[in-house]
Structure 1
Amino acid sequence: MDVQETEHETLLSLGDRLLRIQGPSLRAPLRAALQSLRRGTDADELAGAWAGREAAALLAELDALGWLTAEPGDASRDFEGETYERQLDYLGLFSPDTAAAQRRLLSARVGILGLGGVGGIVAQHLVASGVGTFHLVDDDTVAPHNLNRQFTYTPEDVGTPKTEALARYLRRVRPDAEVTGHRRRITDEAGLHRVFGPGRRLDLLILAADSPADLPGTVARWAAATGTPFSMGAVGVGSGFWGPLVDPARGDCWSCFERARRAALTAVEREVENGSTEPASFSFGPSNTTVAALLAHDMIQYLCGGECPTSGRRAALDFTRQRITHTEESTCTCQTT
């Protein structure tokens, strides 16, 4: 929670939510009480600091807004000294129990298919957030032209399989991470079954490979058969997208999403999409990084709380206009038709 005081009011904000307290600057006891909330407090301190009528009214209002979370007293101390200790408060946007959310990240098993300008950056964010197990899938090696946007690789990695180079990077960030590389090109469901066979159940699969063109459908059929949630992201010239997060446990359906998405395209857009079967021969670091970071943000939120802004829908970012749009959340109809 952020606190900003002006001459005539005090503004409390959490995410995109705002609470406005009219009047002159806060009196010292109320300011101290808010500071105790921001750093974390226990029941005894809370009772003393918020005993006054004005403080009690504000505390009740914060509780009604859902801004207060209750956790074991030693929850934050469990993560002291870890690379992710300062993100715990942020996880409060995703779950009322931030310690439990962090533990879900620590135990999460994530597969990343495609380790380029999107997949590698997503992995970078996930390992820093504490994700504990990775399965990395790619058949390519690091090339000089990758280095303008694939920031987990260095010139010393050129010629090395991306699965090996990225695994080294992830272990440097988190030495206890379990990282398995699978150097292969996935073209069908059988390939996915071989890579993610018995004993390798995933909490999430991220599709960041751009070929073959029908790979999303292949992944979707495999995910539906195995009950594996998945999402994806890609970047083109001046635009990029991430999502949808398709979770079979929620009844999400890739086929119904695609049918609705395609139906909303104009005839020209559909013709252009049908003709775009080859990966783009160009790339730009800032656009790849932006889309990958937004995808990673959604995936961390999903792993923490089971939902995210792209659950069942796709977000698209127009870089030229700096505008984000979302598709409507799709409803599965194929079981009822």
Structure 2
Amino acid sequence: MTNRPVIDGPVAGGHESDRPAARAPQDTAPSALRLRFPAGVMLRAGTTLAAGDAGELLVIGERGFSVEGADRALCAWAGRLAEGMRWPAPEALTPGQEALLAAFAARDLLVPLPRTDTVDAYTKQRRWLAHTGTDPDAAQERIARHQAVVVGCGGTGAIVATHLCAMGVRRLLLVDHDAVEVTNFNRQFTYRQADLGRPKAEALRDFLLERHPEAGITAARVFVDEDTITGLVPHEPGEWTLFCCADRPVGTLAALLAGFARDRGGSVLFAAAGLDEAAVGPLLRPDDTAAHQAFAQEMEAVGAVARSALADPVMSASVAPVNTVTAAWMAGEWLNGVILERPVRSLNTRFVVDLGNSSTYEERTWR
């Protein structure tokens, strides 16, 4: 179409009518948008497009508006824009498309497309990362460079490791001293009947490498203590995180991992599955040594009590949904809190997801 459509509705931050004239605002002009979004644009998630009763295009959402005089071609183009558009030649945009782009930009409804144009396992993840406001290509590269150590490859750790590999972690160490048993099959989905009797870390490594052959995954069948941990903590330069998904020895292991992460400049994240509850956190980052120290001291005291107990305090009953929820929360807290450096609930805090009544609450914070 040659004429600009009439666009009505509240602009971002106000309620006045927005009717683009021959010239769009400078920061929403096509040339400015190409500078802000070098690879191209897509519509922000949650933006719905629909046809109105009078033939207008409706943009439905918190920042919605209507477009009168939008012909079928413009409506179809808007629908394709929802999936993403890499910039065409400047002269390829019609006046109607330019006006619609300006209206989307004025309401902060445009998200940058990732620079990477390859269709691969991370195409949709890079788009998700773009919606968080970060550089999606840089964030994906940061995930790939990150070193992860998963201590405990049971119902929580095996699923956490699966999430990490699926997100693109390429350097992963799996640590567990147990072997696969038949009682694992109700919640540990990565193991097969053929794995019975095999070391869990090795069976999990093989499972992950079948799906991610490009990853560097190492398995270690060891019991983590003061003598063995020095060989497990990464010594190479770069970011790394310890994921504590093991429950023995109670308290002592948590104190050991927190202390080593503090001394070696890494992050450490804890999680545990209970009867009906998933306990996630704390996430201790290397820049907060006070929280590391406070947590380690408390866990040492917990360990001393556990060692004097007459019965093993580790629970012997478990069900798959609790482990799965625990692992998913743990992986999400790492992605947001470490990779994207966004505020997360588990930072220096243990919170609990109660599956019995679908609620969450904060249990303890260390400072």
Question: Common fold, TM-score beyond 0.5?
Answer: yes
Q: 1:202 to 1:320 in 2, by over 3 A?
A: same
Residue 144 (structure 1) aligns with: 182
Residue 183 (structure 1) aligns with: 221
Residue 104 (structure 2) aligns with: 58
Q: 1:193 aligns with which of 220, 230, 243?
A: 230
User: What's the CA shift for 1:213?
Assistant: 0.8
Q: Distance in 1 between matches of 2:146 and 2:219?
A: 17
Q: 1:59 to 1:47 in 2, by over 3 A?
A: farther
User: What's the CA shift for 1:219?
Assistant: 0.9
Q: Distance in 1 between matches of 2:125 and 2:274?
A: 31
Moved more, 195-204 or 100-109: 195-204
Residue 3 (structure 1) aligned with residue 36 (structure 2): no
User: What's the CA shift for 1:113?
Assistant: 0.4
Partners of 2:255 and 2:297 within 8 A in 1: no
- Map Cα deviations across residues 70-115 of structure 1 (whole Å, 9 max, x no partner): 653xx132xx2x3332222112244521111112222221000000
Q: 1:154 to 1:321 in 2, by over 3 A?
A: same
- The aligned runs of 1:1-337 (5 Å cut-off) are 1-5=45-49, 10-12=59-61, 19-23=62-66, 27=70, 29=74, 32-33=77-78, 35-36=80-81, 38-42=83-87, 44=89, 48=94, 50-52=97-99, 55-62=101-108, 68-69=111-112, 71-72=114-115, 75-77=116-118, 80=119, 82-188=120-226, 190-196=227-233, 198-199=235-236, 203-214=240-251, 215-251=253-289, 253-256=291-294, 278-307=313-342, 309=344, 310-326=346-362, 330=366, 332=367
User: What's the CA shift for 1:32?
Assistant: 2.6
Q: Distance in 1 between matches of 2:199 and 2:206?
A: 11
User: What's the CA shift for 1:187?
Assistant: 2.7
Q: 1:228 to 1:297 in 2, by over 3 A?
A: same
Partners of 1:70 and 1:96 within 8 A in 2: no
Q: Distance in 2 between matches of 1:234 and 1:153?
A: 20
Q: 1:211 to 1:260 in 2, by over 3 A?
A: closer
- Map Cα deviations across residues 167-222 of structure 1 (whole Å, 9 max, x no partner): 1011111001111111111133x421132263486611100000101211111111
Q: Distance in 1 between matches of 2:284 and 2:255?
A: 12
TM-score, structure 2 as length reference: 0.73
Partners of 1:257 and 1:313 within 8 A in 2: no
TM-score, structure 1 as length reference: 0.79
Moved more, 285-294 or 191-200: 191-200
5+ long unaligned stretches in structure 2: 1-44, 300-304
**Identity among equivalent pairs (%):** 24
Q: 1:70 to 1:39 in 2, by over 3 A?
A: closer
Moved more, 251-260 or 317-326: 251-260
Q: Distance in 1 between matches of 2:297 and 2:229?
A: 24
Q: Distance in 2 between matches of 1:228 and 1:249?
A: 9
User: What's the CA shift for 1:42?
Assistant: 2.0
Q: 1:328 to 1:4 in 2, by over 3 A?
A: farther
Moved more, 228-237 or 191-200: 191-200
Partners of 2:113 and 2:130 within 8 A in 1: no
Q: Distance in 2 between matches of 1:323 and 1:44?
A: 51
Helix, strand or coil at the partner of 1:244? strand
Helix, strand or coil at the partner of 1:283? coil
Q: Distance in 2 between matches of 1:219 and 1:294?
A: 20
Q: Distance in 1 between matches of 2:283 and 2:237?
A: 20
Q: 1:319 to 1:60 in 2, by over 3 A?
A: same
Q: Answer 1 or 2: which has greater helix percent.
A: 1
- Map Cα deviations across residues 6-51 of structure 1 (whole Å, 9 max, x no partner): 6596334xxxxxx331558994536634632532422746965642
Moved more, 112-121 or 19-28: 19-28
Q: Distance in 1 between matches of 2:68 and 2:161?
A: 44
Computing the radius of gyration over CA atoms, which structure comes out larger, 1 or 2? 2
Helix, strand or coil at the partner of 1:136? strand
Partners of 2:267 and 2:284 within 8 A in 1: yes
Helix, strand or coil at the partner of 1:159? coil
5+ long unaligned stretches in structure 1: 13-18, 262-270, 333-337
Moved more, 54-63 or 24-33: 24-33
Alignment coverage as a number of residue pairs: 305
Residue 268 (structure 1) aligns with: none
